[in-house]
Structure 1
Amino acid sequence: MTEASVLFLRTCLVLLAMPIYLLSFLGIWQPFCKKVFFPFFLEKLFTIHERKAKKHKQELFHNLPDFKSPSGELKLLEIGTGCGVNFQFYPPGCKVTCTDINPNFQQALSRSIKKNQHIHYERFLVAAGEDLHQVPSGSVDAVVCTLVLCSAHNVNGILKEALRVLRPGGAFYFLEHVAADHSSWKYFWQQVCYPTWKLVFDGCCLTRELWKNLERAGFSELRLQHVSIALPWTPIRPHIMGYAVK
């Protein structure tokens, strides 16, 4: 588990992925990735991830109704909605505003909306989580962010925006893959895969210690646990999940 062995294996992986690096150099890979590959792959990956993470998500979202506003409504904003895989876990009547930086998810999102008629879909905003200026301050009861912070340009910026749009007493829900223990083989392979994985999967970082960002974000209460989600042949098994109250 030396730096030399990490560098050697990284180089081998780069050589295997050389066609993608070449397409990236030519400026072809990123547009193709955002429009075609990433939406298609993410929908397939989320199918597997949802099967493995279903019990965790049921546990995570079971108390969402506790954060209804005094009027009895639950207004929810989801950052990085993607294909809408979380809709099935939201309580009936929940009013959902969806955001994503990539507008190419809307076709898959439409399929999820049709499957989940128990929620009230309000609108889709093409927006980065770091800039939710279209959402008024203190206007939502819950913010949901799953498998998004790994590729965010500014994690702290997203958490700051989540705090802004939440009403006092509202909650920020999260489920994210994170860095493994530094002494483990999982972390070793995360380091090996890091550059190529980040290129192929649209900026996804494997070694972020996101629990530290959450601890420093300024929430009044943080409920966080480390879990492992069995995703064979991938370096994204370690996760954190929980919620933080404004």
Structure 2
Amino acid sequence: MSRTTTTGDRQATGFAQRPGRGRFNAAFFRLMGPYLERSLRPRKRRVFAGVAGDVAEIGPGVGANLPYLPAGAALIAIEPNRYMHDGLRTAALRSGVALDLRERTAEQTGLPDASVDTVISSLVLCSVQDPDAVLAEIRRILRPGGSFRFVEHVVAPSGTPTRASQRLFRRPWAWTFEGCSCERDLERSLRSAGFAEVEVEHYRLHTPLLPFNPQIAGVARA
């Protein structure tokens, strides 16, 4: 049987709750989830394979990654957007995952040093305020030998039509998706974050969401 708990500390430091956009994004990812999963599933299966121990997820949204956790797993969910919480709780019940839901930002999880074995994320580092601070926080909470497993969208190569579309849609995209940037070189951030080892695969989705299509997936080890 799954259970859900929410910590008493509900300070989502640095995150502005926006009812209109918050509800829109929660609905968008519930509706688009199956479509996105069909495209992302091969990478998620590879990257999230063998996840075990104490697991934290940065920005789980409405729970797209819960099916990739082992049966009976427990998850510490760092999700500042409270409009995602109902969908996340429902998904946790459906997946049989024990959910420890914390309304915090990824820059300040509130977790102790070296307290988790694995951190996972998908389509999240695009929207955090400070990706370098988030990666430093992930390293802080990982136990030695632990891993950060990620599937993220990134900036396209210069001079490509996709890069031009990312520049063109930068402002409306960020406004609609609550700060999401299509122009982050997350591989460079990962490789300079101090992890012992970083494995990155570049690939491209083929969706109508052109600025979103350049992607990376991989594992960074503490």
- Shared fold, TM over 0.5: yes
Q: Distance in 1 between matches of 2:121 and 2:140?
A: 15
Q: Distance in 2 between matches of 1:84 and 1:233?
A: 21
> Among residues 183, 188, 210, which one is paired with 1:207 in the alignment?
183
1:181 Cα offset (Å): 1.0
More displaced stretch, 217-226 vs 91-100: 91-100
Distance 1:149 1:233, change over 3 A: closer
Q: Quick check: 1:232 aligned with 2:208?
A: yes
Q: Quick check: 1:37 aligned with 2:24?
A: yes
The letter for the 1-side match of 2:19 is P
Q: Distance in 1 between matches of 2:19 and 2:92?
A: 26
1:59 Cα offset (Å): 1.3
More helix by share: 1
Aligned to 1:89: 68
> Among residues 134, 139, 148, which one is paired with 1:163 in the alignment?
139
Q: Quick check: 1:61 aligned with 2:61?
A: no
Aligned to 2:9: none
Q: Quick check: 1:77 aligned with 2:56?
A: yes
Are the counterparts in 1 of residues 121 and 149 from structure 2 also a CA contact under 8 Å? yes
1:208-229 CA-to-partner distances (Å, cap 9, x unmatched) read 1111100100000111111112
1:61 Cα offset (Å): 1.2
- Secondary structure of the residue aligned to 1:64 is coil
Count of residue pairs brought into register by the alignment: 206
Q: Structure 2: give runs of 5+ residues left out of the alignment.
A: 1-16
Aligned to 1:126: 103
- The structure whose Rg is larger is 1
Q: Structure 1: give runs of 5+ residues left out of the alignment.
A: 1-28, 66-73
Identical counterparts, % of pairs: 30
Find runs of 4+ consecutive structure 1 residues off by over 3 angstroms. Answer: none
1:240 Cα offset (Å): 0.7
1:162-185 CA-to-partner distances (Å, cap 9, x unmatched) read 011111000011111001111211
Aligned to 2:11: none
Aligned-pair Cα RMSD in Å: 1.5
Are the counterparts in 1 of residues 165 and 210 from structure 2 also a CA contact under 8 Å? no
1:53-97 CA-to-partner distances (Å, cap 9, x unmatched) read 1111111112324xxxxxxxx110001011111011112333211
Q: Quick check: 1:243 aligned with 2:222?
A: no
- Secondary structure of the residue aligned to 1:235 is helix
Q: Quick check: 1:105 aligned with 2:84?
A: yes
Q: Distance in 2 between matches of 1:51 and 1:111?
A: 21
The letter for the 2-side match of 1:172 is F
Q: Distance in 2 between matches of 1:185 and 1:122?
A: 41
Are the counterparts in 1 of residues 205 and 214 from structure 2 also a CA contact under 8 Å? yes
1:32 Cα offset (Å): 1.2
Aligned to 1:217: 193
